[in-house]
């Protein structure tokens, strides 16, 4: 990876955004239920959807943190399966990629 610093900056910005979004979802999930029973049903349905969103955000946060760790330890841009370099273009599009395109296609 030629421009690791730019990717690191991009990943840090992604992490900050994801953490802010996850915090907002968690704040919403902590809100007490309405006293009105029909409203409680709506709130519970909303909470279920928000919990799903929170799960996705948490997975994305973990992926970004793992990519930042790979940058720190010098393994960023190397395929976790075969050890080949991951193409810069792939990392620009998917900066959390752990597999080269060949291994990613084989995994599908």
Q: Give the per-residue pLDDT at 34.
A: 66
In a domain, 103, yes or no: no
Range of the domain at 40: 4-77
Confidence of residue 76 (pLDDT cuts 50, 70, 90): very high
User: Is residue 99 in some structural domain?
Assistant: no
Q: What are the angstrom distances between the C-alpha of 11 and each of 63, 65, 96, 108? A: 10, 8, 8, 25
Residue 54 has pLDDT above 70, yes or no: yes
The domain tally of the chain equals 1
- Residue 47, domain member (yes or no): yes
Confidence of residue 94 (pLDDT cuts 50, 70, 90): very high
Does residue 13 sit within a domain? yes
Contacts 24+ apart (CB under 8 A), 20-27: 21/57, 22/54, 22/57, 22/58, 22/61, 25/50, 25/53, 25/54, 25/57, 26/54
Question: Is 39 a member of any domain?
Answer: yes
Does the residue 100 lie in any domain? no
Mean pLDDT over all residues of the chain? 89
């Amino acid at each position: 990876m030629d421009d690791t610093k730019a990717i690191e900056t991009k990943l840090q910005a992604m992490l900050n955004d994801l953490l802010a979004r996850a915090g907002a979802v968690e704040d919403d999930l902590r809100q007490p239920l309405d006293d009105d029973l029909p409203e409680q049903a709506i709130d519970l349905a909303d909470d279920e959807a928000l919990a799903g969103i929170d799960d996705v955000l948490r997975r994305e946060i973990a992926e970004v943190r793992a990519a930042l760790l790979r940058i720190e330890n010098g393994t960023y841009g190397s395929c976790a399966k075969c050890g080949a370099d991951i193409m810069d273009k792939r990392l620009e599009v998917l900066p959390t990629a752990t597999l080269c395109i060949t291994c990613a296609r084989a995994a599908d």
